[in-house]
Structure 1
């Protein structure tokens, strides 16, 4: 099958960029299975084994999509209403109130309910980028954009200090708390800020943590860090917002709402077996599973099924 993916940001990403990393993982899985892959993305995109076609505007992207593509998978820069090729569009963010293209795919059931969309394909993470480890060190890990208040860095600081847990914060510097909240409270010997990390440093942080702390206050469409943590054998303690309950059943973590519920939730999370965490993530949220689900969707669409009706 010739698959064309369309995205409005350059690939691959250096450190952060959930959508960009997901696309790169999908491409890797497609290539392993022998599919031909083209990518329409801004100038500078370079991926091995892939036909990279530069396009720096939405209009340009629509003009350079290869005629030979069997399916066009938009990750941004959606198709016009009269687009006459087989296609799907994955919504990666939140677009409440927007008129979405007919063939829209959401990335969790919560996300789909929020946007009144029928079709769901969960994101997938490449497990090869993470290390499984069943012996943990004595620290919690917060790994989200610190400057985004809804990600919960301020609350994580409060919980860590109140209950005496050494915590490592990744996803920005202490100064990002000026916007995210909690700057003054962050000056404590048990709290360490390591900035934005990736690669081996990131894998080590996940694999050694005793739990991932994810106290979000918004409807997270998916949450790649949850899967990254579980692939590392690290359980999750989180608030039950957005897709979190779908990704974190009791076998691999625990949920809490109030600060007072946190100690019990952490105790339950830390009782989870690291291998159970890894196996759950591998079975449901690996890049291979995600690619397989998209390929099934492509085939159904190409076979004439009214998937989005």
Structure 2
């Protein structure tokens, strides 16, 4: 009889219905899904990805829409339902060994799947943006995976079967000892991400701030018009949404990345992207951020917004080579893939 850990698995991964996998710009969950799927294929597994838009993966691919609609879609409810129904049909037809769902709507039919279902929780589980009540209501047949210890503490009664930090493929960057020309903000332009706090901190530190990102929802468009746009001034440059090449350029010239969220950050993939490029992160002590950053090595943590300017100046002096060396041990996508494989095998019927 073969040992269970030696045979390849048939795995079906469901990504959200908004962005391509991998995304052209914004799309942290989709970026993680791509790294996971590619890594599983490299480890010899038979993987099917359900997503939207054109195919970019080595895995078998089932698109529910030919073009990715983004979160600005006029009818997101119909979009989510369509995506979930197509995914459920594919699961019934293929009968994989395991389903790994990165959506919420797909979990409505998980109890009817012909195989175990694992779901990664990509959202906050505490505070005004909490999805804890929704996850408390899903079928106990779904095994939940947290992105951080912070999520486990925020909702300890959920059906947790593991915790896996997000990972990214490691790649060379233009300069580990960075040029330190500016403070960089990467991400959605929203009140919950604290972009206004980033602007105030950079100005107080007398550092140039580059903001790379845009609105992803209509609510965020309103925030840009009413709050964000009036704050733009000399020394604060908004470059909009960027692709990976431009991101690498901006990271190569950043003295630090700033991340001052107002919500319980469930992970923060930008932390991995910055620190593995040798760029320390200045952050408020919210959600998962304290467990992702090593004080004085990969970043500087603050308890209050008024501490951010001094933290920026300290972060500019941290050596990029040390930051990257520590970060790549923590955020290498190969670790994430191996940990998920262990979870999948533990869920299989004995």
TM-score relative to the length of structure 1: 0.89
Report the CA distance between 1:2 and its aligned residue.
Answer: 1.7
Q: Is 1:220 aligned with 2:280? A: no
2:132 is matched with which residue? 96
Change (3 A) 1:115 1:205: same
Change (3 A) 1:112 1:101: farther
CA-based RMSD of the aligned residues comes to 2.3
Deviations 1:176-198 (A, max 9, x none): 753572433322x2111111001
2:79 is matched with which residue? none
Report the CA distance between 1:68 and its aligned residue.
Answer: 4.8
SS for the counterpart of 1:57 is helix
Write the mapping of 1:120-269 to structure 2, written as runs, cut at 5 A.
120-128=163-171, 131=174, 133-146=176-189, 148-172=190-214, 178-179=224-225, 181-187=227-233, 189-250=234-295, 251-269=297-315
Change (3 A) 1:74 1:180: farther
Change (3 A) 1:71 1:80: closer
Report the CA distance between 1:132 and its aligned residue.
Answer: 5.0
Deviations 1:198-248 (A, max 9, x none): 121111111220000111111011001111000110001110001100111
Q: Is 1:34 aligned with 2:80? A: no
Retained in 2: the 8 A contact 1:207–1:229? no
Q: Return 5+ residue gaps in structure 2 as ranges.
A: 1-8, 65-81, 125-130, 216-220
Q: Is 1:75 aligned with 2:84? A: no
Retained in 2: the 8 A contact 1:211–1:234? yes
Distance 2:38 2:269 in 1: 17
Matched residues, number: 301
Structure 1 residue ranges (4+ consecutive) displaced by more than 4 angstroms after TM superposition: 129-132
Change (3 A) 1:159 1:58: same
SS for the counterpart of 2:99 is strand
Retained in 2: the 8 A contact 1:139–1:211? yes
Distance 2:63 2:308 in 1: 48
